[in-house]
Structure 1
Amino acid sequence: MTIVNTHQAEAWNGYEGKHWADHHDRYDAVNSGFNDYLLQSVRAGDRVLDVGCGNGQVSRLAARRAGHVTGVDLSAPMLGRARAAAADEGVANIDFEQGDAQVHPFPADSYDLAISRFGIMFFADPVAAFANIARALRPGGRVAFLSLRGMADNDLGPVFAAMACHLPKPEPVPDGDGPTSLSDPIRIHEVFTAAGFTGVTATPVEALQVWGRDAQDAADFLAAWGPVRFLLDRVDATAASRARAALVDALLPYGQADAVRLRGAAYLITATRP
């Protein structure tokens, strides 16, 4: 397997990927409110490519509408979970491949639709990645991708800000290699146009995300999420305790009778290969 995104490969085959695989149900509860934005693009008989498929929930749901779905991801732990879930659910028109979508040798002109639920923001070279995906699509093939909007547009923004004074400032990530790397519609249009797509649109969409049963449960889960855990591990026990307490307090206003729900904001990116 050829990988150019080595940093991401290490993360998704290490702690981060294992945490997502072990807690697949919780991460799906966070992100599944966005599923229909992608699934509405799936047509009967489509051959679908799910980029950054992770634990495979969207792949399985798409397979129930499409002719066949191929999910690709860097993470071996998450692909293991995806294959097991597809087998348990009896979804037969599906397969999963481990690979870096930026350079993976997809068969040319083979897919009608490429989809992704927040799996496209981490490419070392996004133009090269989307050009590679474009080659995998047949002429006239479509994409429907979700990318995260900026933290100021998401309820996680003020939640994370509440911890900021207790934690070191996150290190900047290279351009195109972070969760908000495709949070600007102008950049989205530039990247996808440079990759050879036409009719590029970036539509703002929102969904409620379930982070836990209550504020404490949600805070414990968020504190174990890779990016937050990394920062907590870089401070002493007192500062970490204060950051965790601030996280609980920040989540309290979002608590409802059965769950903590935060508003998530994204862009639905659509485009066509000429």
Structure 2
Amino acid sequence: MKIAFSPCPNDTFVFHAWVHGLIPGAPELDVTYADIDKTNNWAAEGIGPEVQKISYAALPYVLSDYALIPCGGALGRGCGPLVLTKGEQVGPQALAGKKVAVPSERSTAYLLFRLWASQTISGGIGEIIVMPFHEIMPAVQAGTIDAGLVIHEARFTYQDYGLTLLQDLGSWWEEDTGLPIPLGAIIAHRSLNLGEITKWVKASVDYAWAHPDESKAYIMEHAQELSVDVASSHIELYVNEYTANLGEDGYAAIEALLGRAAKEGLVPTFDLNALR
């Protein structure tokens, strides 16, 4: 079976057991390691592996062909994207008419940013520039852009670039809704046995938690030069109860995010019932 997920520590932690043939009855995996911006587009174009990790923000584009698997993804609290600037602390209105870099236009980070900006910035942002997430902090540091929207391990490393936190969008979302933040989703093509896929993903999550040391070498092999401590912090932040089972809070968070985004015209309108 073909699958695509990112080389980030949370994904390699979750899928280590399945990738290494440790889940009884699960098929052998042919893995493509790809940034989520690539998988978002693959899924929307109807290409790529049968099982993929995408952003929740990309779900409205793919639900006719792919189903949401209720485990294995990234959804939680205290793990939202950050808006960063260079220099002294400024307020949100300082971004009016400015140039802001984002890692993808089909990402939860981007939806949260646009929803936050529409509430807090009079006059709106000047220009949105999409660039690979690992290039954003250096660009802010160099002054080629005014602010950057960052994700993943940048939460732990932005101070190394001398950057300043303008807004933690996860904190804003949680204060505004009381719900966790939907980040990355596992989807499977609707032609597959979705119950079996769910069972195998859940078993891989359970194995990861039961044998946390077994996956360390695999995680660090793909960790893109992260330190062991940063990789561990990444896993602790993004792998949680919602990774094992979305539950009612998880589904409510997804419906709130995508429902708001659809009303703002940021994603296509769709039947929320298709999420379950």
TM bucket (normalised to shorter chain) is 0.3 to 0.5
Q: What TM-score results when the alignment is normalised by the length of structure 1?
A: 0.33
Which structure is higher in RCO with an 8 Å CA cutoff and minimum separation 6? 2
